[in-house]
Chain A
């Protein structure tokens, strides 16, 4: 049959190897010597002009890390990481003291942002070209909501290259800057909160991060302020053999609100690259943080060669009463994902949410989930997790919901659904439910199934191809979570889902 050959060709052409962001930007960079030692830690600290206490903090973490062993409980299987074979610091070389116009920016960096799909105007700002202030004022005069603006912090390998909309944010009192800068400009704030949510000794990867983190974003929203725009960070690993260790710290002071977006990409490499980030969120009374991630690190090719090892510790602390933290994540990339964005519901009446779409294809391995730890009274949490496994991948949801003895009237609702596409993938669910309080009400439900033949038949009968029909059904499957994403991200995520699943039907 001629149609058959056509299908074969089509499937071949859209192999999972197609990773849209798999380009390398050729720019000069400055690296720390390979390997990890106290000297590496000192080098990074010195590069960042950090205060003495910070260096001590890092060294303490490094010494602690030496005594720890890599955790093995997750359902992921990867070759042993040689921590001495990595670069722990890599920065694009600067031409002078910051560019004054677009021409001075390394055109390669601009090209990278263009490929990443960052809007052109933002690219200019990203690249550090100062725009006249009047531009911003004009926009203020326009009716709100017509054009949504996003302040972007771009992290290239180990350092933040640019942050946009600084001026406007400053006017409303919001601090949004690379954490390395915050350490110099707002040391008291950083020192007060850094490591209070994810302690230095929390786990193997978090401790490593504490020792060698090079950059990341710092956000502080003062009391009563609703952050005027979405804040966003793009993470990009460019250099070969580089580990990226970023650290994000977001503090929402009393009654404030901020929405933060995070996007990640990396070039295609044959070797595995390590990414071990730590994200700490703190909400005080009545504050709210909405944290959205679209993770699209290079997943490796269809036979499992290359790809990012993504070991991330993300945790939010609802410290104040009536505060709220909401995590939304779309996980489509990385060879290994090891990630459990969690909420500590300490304040009375606080609320934690976790919405997740985790898609694995090829030989990807995902072990992700959340922890909802109810400590305060009347705390509520909700977990919606959608796992989709295709190819030869394994997709695990691992979560904990616990109510402390004093967490009267704690409530949790958990729903985790898995979808399997193909005969060689696995979907697993490992929930821990610990109720130590009679007034706590916990509900958990999980299902695993495949895309029903009826649904596919129904679509295909109406002239939709098998591939499109699958994407349609999957989009319906993940809709609950997509709705939680800010609009720009939802569109991107929807596209990503169909790209990730390409080649999985047949």
Chain B
């Protein structure tokens, strides 16, 4: 047996261990779930908080960025629920089915009932774990390769309190987007761990919106994950809006499995939190699947945002596109690590990845690592990456036509980000995020 190299635990790691031990008894689920939680926590402890020597976390060293671990959030009180009532601000103008989670707990009285929609079932994770101890629902079949050994995901599995478990029956077309509203409403610096699952059966169509927000003056921590199964010929659009409070730490994981002829469009909008990490593990497991992953990150101050994705083409004939844009002001830092994997029998894969960073300040930093790992020969794969400042010529062109400098800049930035936002299929959501971008630019001095 190999001896594990023991590293000295950081304060945050010790605190996490203490929190896990203290809150074990009130985490939902029976003995089987408890066992899985123990196992997941052991995996986390073995790996420790991800740090820069772990390649996948090279630029986001949690040993540095996460100095301490906050205690698990208590169930929301009346005041917190009241604050959660109006959350979902950035996309609130869009008619949607709302499911509200305050401080990591489902709040039925603030939520729309989606159960009576034909072909849609939804239970809260806490209820499901309490009712039947089928914890195995969260040991997804693709776990071994897709993020299965990621420490942050393991920690989420160990500590998950609640989330939405949604099933869309075969052929169902959901009329309006389903909106999961995650709000950190308590005034205490706490941590929440939410885990959701959405299974979209063959031929069904749905748009899922996830929004995350909280108070600017509380340094809370959010860990959230979504297991998504896109059935054969199903169509799923997901839009994730990250608008956490200014001092928050936000770590989100998406594990998606895309079936034959199915389509997944994912968009991640990031505008909040001090530290953000979005990790996506997407597997095309059915032939001719079509995947589009996109994102826009608007950062200022000392915001740090990291998007890390692994797109695994396990079978042939799939098409994938990625477009990620980052606008970096002040001393902010953006990290993009994208890996396209094409397995040996995944012939006729067509994969393109593009990542672009716009640096508005001399102190901003953009790190990108677009990776290709290809084992099949009959493929078309490519990636592009750029980093740079605004094009002075374009700016001059606009200014020569009487547009003041800051407006010219705003226009150019808007069009830069717009490229990515335009990949959102839903008109209302696209407009809402475009509007949020304009507002963000307006706040720029």
Residues of A within 8 A of B (CB): 73, 405, 418, 420-450
- Please judge, given known A-B contacts A73-B55, A432-B369, A435-B359, whether A441 and B377 are in contact too, CB under 8 Å: no
Is the pair B389, A446 in contact by a Cβ cutoff of 8 Å?
Answer: no
Is the pair B376, A423 in contact by a Cβ cutoff of 8 Å?
Answer: yes
Which residue of the partner chain, among B344, B362, B373, B380, contacts A439 with CB atoms under 8 Å? B362
Bound-state Cα–Cα, A432 to B338, Å: 11
- In the complex, chain A residues whose CB is within 8 Å of the CB of B387: 433, 435, 440-442
Which residue of the partner chain, among A428, A431, A441, A448, contacts B388 with CB atoms under 8 Å? A441
B366 interface hit (Cβ, 8 Å): yes
- Please judge, given known A-B contacts A430-B371, A433-B367, A444-B370, whether A422 and B361 are in contact too, CB under 8 Å: no
Is the pair A420, B377 in contact by a Cβ cutoff of 8 Å?
Answer: yes
- In the complex, chain A residues whose CB is within 8 Å of the CB of B380: 447-449
Is the pair B55, A434 in contact by a Cβ cutoff of 8 Å?
Answer: no
Q: List 20 A-B contacts (CB under 8 A).
A: A418-B374, A428-B372, A429-B371, A431-B369, A431-B371, A433-B370, A434-B365, A434-B367, A435-B367, A435-B387, A439-B362, A440-B359, A441-B389, A442-B386, A442-B387, A444-B370, A446-B370, A447-B381, A448-B374, A450-B377
B417 interface hit (Cβ, 8 Å): no
B385 interface hit (Cβ, 8 Å): yes
Bound-state Cα–Cα, A444 to B378, Å: 23
- In the complex, chain A residues whose CB is within 8 Å of the CB of B385: 431, 433, 442-445
- Please give 4 more A-B residue pairs, beta carbons under 8 A apart, in addition to A422-B377, A433-B369, A447-B380: A420-B379, A435-B367, A436-B365, A448-B379
- Please judge, given known A-B contacts A423-B376, A425-B377, A433-B367, whether A448 and B359 are in contact too, CB under 8 Å: no
Residue of B nearest to A408 (CB): B362
- In the complex, chain A residues whose CB is within 8 Å of the CB of B376: 420, 423
B357 interface hit (Cβ, 8 Å): yes
- Please judge, given known A-B contacts A438-B362, A439-B389, whether A448 and B382 are in contact too, CB under 8 Å: yes
Bound-state Cα–Cα, A425 to B379, Å: 13
Is the pair A429, B367 in contact by a Cβ cutoff of 8 Å?
Answer: no
- In the complex, chain B residues whose CB is within 8 Å of the CB of A442: 385-388
Minimum distance in angstroms from A428 CB to a CB of chain B: 5
Which residue of the partner chain, among B55, B359, B378, B383, contacts A429 with CB atoms under 8 Å? B383
Bound-state Cα–Cα, A446 to B372, Å: 9
- Please judge, given known A-B contacts A425-B377, A426-B375, whether A438 and B367 are in contact too, CB under 8 Å: no
B364 interface hit (Cβ, 8 Å): yes
Question: Which of A427, A441, A450 is most buried by chain B, counting CB atoms within 10 A of its CB?
Answer: A427
Residue of B nearest to A417 (CB): B382
- In the complex, chain A residues whose CB is within 8 Å of the CB of B366: 433-435
Size class of B's contact patch? 20 to 34
Minimum distance in angstroms from B241 CB to a CB of chain A: 27
Is the pair B374, A428 in contact by a Cβ cutoff of 8 Å?
Answer: yes
B437 interface hit (Cβ, 8 Å): no
Is the pair A445, B372 in contact by a Cβ cutoff of 8 Å?
Answer: no
Residue of B nearest to A73 (CB): B55
- Please judge, given known A-B contacts A431-B370, A435-B359, whether A450 and B378 are in contact too, CB under 8 Å: yes
B384 interface hit (Cβ, 8 Å): yes
Bound-state Cα–Cα, A300 to B381, Å: 30
Which residue of the partner chain, among B365, B370, B373, contacts A435 with CB atoms under 8 Å? B365
- In the complex, chain B residues whose CB is within 8 Å of the CB of A428: 371-374
Which residue of the partner chain, among B360, B361, B382, B388, contacts A440 with CB atoms under 8 Å? B388
Is the pair A438, B377 in contact by a Cβ cutoff of 8 Å?
Answer: no
Is the pair B374, A445 in contact by a Cβ cutoff of 8 Å?
Answer: no
A-B pair number, CB within 8 angstroms: 111
- In the complex, chain A residues whose CB is within 8 Å of the CB of B371: 428-431
- In the complex, chain A residues whose CB is within 8 Å of the CB of B382: 445-448
- In the complex, chain A residues whose CB is within 8 Å of the CB of B372: 418, 427-429, 446, 448
- In the complex, chain B residues whose CB is within 8 Å of the CB of A444: 370, 383-386
Bound-state Cα–Cα, A450 to B375, Å: 11
Is the pair A405, B362 in contact by a Cβ cutoff of 8 Å?
Answer: yes
Residue of A nearest to B371 (CB): A430
- Please judge, given known A-B contacts A434-B367, A444-B384, A447-B382, whether A426 and B359 are in contact too, CB under 8 Å: no
Within 8 A of A (CB), among B336-376: 344, 357, 359-376
- The 4 A-B residue pairs whose C-beta atoms are closest, nearest first, are A420-B377, A435-B387, A438-B359, A441-B388
Is the pair B374, A426 in contact by a Cβ cutoff of 8 Å?
Answer: yes
Minimum distance in angstroms from B426 CB to a CB of chain A: 31
Is the pair B367, A449 in contact by a Cβ cutoff of 8 Å?
Answer: no
Residue of B nearest to A449 (CB): B380
- In the complex, chain B residues whose CB is within 8 Å of the CB of A450: 377-379
Minimum distance in angstroms from B362 CB to a CB of chain A: 5
Bound-state Cα–Cα, A426 to B371, Å: 13
Bound-state Cα–Cα, A226 to B110, Å: 80
Bound-state Cα–Cα, A441 to B362, Å: 12
- In the complex, chain A residues whose CB is within 8 Å of the CB of B364: 438
- Please judge, given known A-B contacts A448-B374, A449-B379, whether A423 and B386 are in contact too, CB under 8 Å: no
Residue of B nearest to A444 (CB): B385
Residue of B nearest to A409 (CB): B389
Is the pair B357, A435 in contact by a Cβ cutoff of 8 Å?
Answer: yes
Is the pair A448, B386 in contact by a Cβ cutoff of 8 Å?
Answer: no
Minimum distance in angstroms from A492 CB to a CB of chain B: 28
Minimum distance in angstroms from B58 CB to a CB of chain A: 8
Is the pair A443, B374 in contact by a Cβ cutoff of 8 Å?
Answer: no
Residue of A nearest to B390 (CB): A438
Minimum distance in angstroms from B326 CB to a CB of chain A: 11
Is the pair A438, B373 in contact by a Cβ cutoff of 8 Å?
Answer: no
Minimum distance in angstroms from A194 CB to a CB of chain B: 30
Minimum distance in angstroms from B13 CB to a CB of chain A: 25
Bound-state Cα–Cα, A383 to B354, Å: 19
Minimum distance in angstroms from B68 CB to a CB of chain A: 28
Residue of B nearest to A438 (CB): B359
- In the complex, chain A residues whose CB is within 8 Å of the CB of B365: 434-436
- In the complex, chain A residues whose CB is within 8 Å of the CB of B389: 438-439, 441
Minimum distance in angstroms from A310 CB to a CB of chain B: 22
Bound-state Cα–Cα, A502 to B377, Å: 18
Bound-state Cα–Cα, A443 to B357, Å: 11
- In the complex, chain B residues whose CB is within 8 Å of the CB of A446: 370, 372, 382-384
- In the complex, chain A residues whose CB is within 8 Å of the CB of B357: 435
Bound-state Cα–Cα, A440 to B372, Å: 24
Bound-state Cα–Cα, A470 to B382, Å: 22
Residue of A nearest to B375 (CB): A426
Minimum distance in angstroms from B333 CB to a CB of chain A: 9
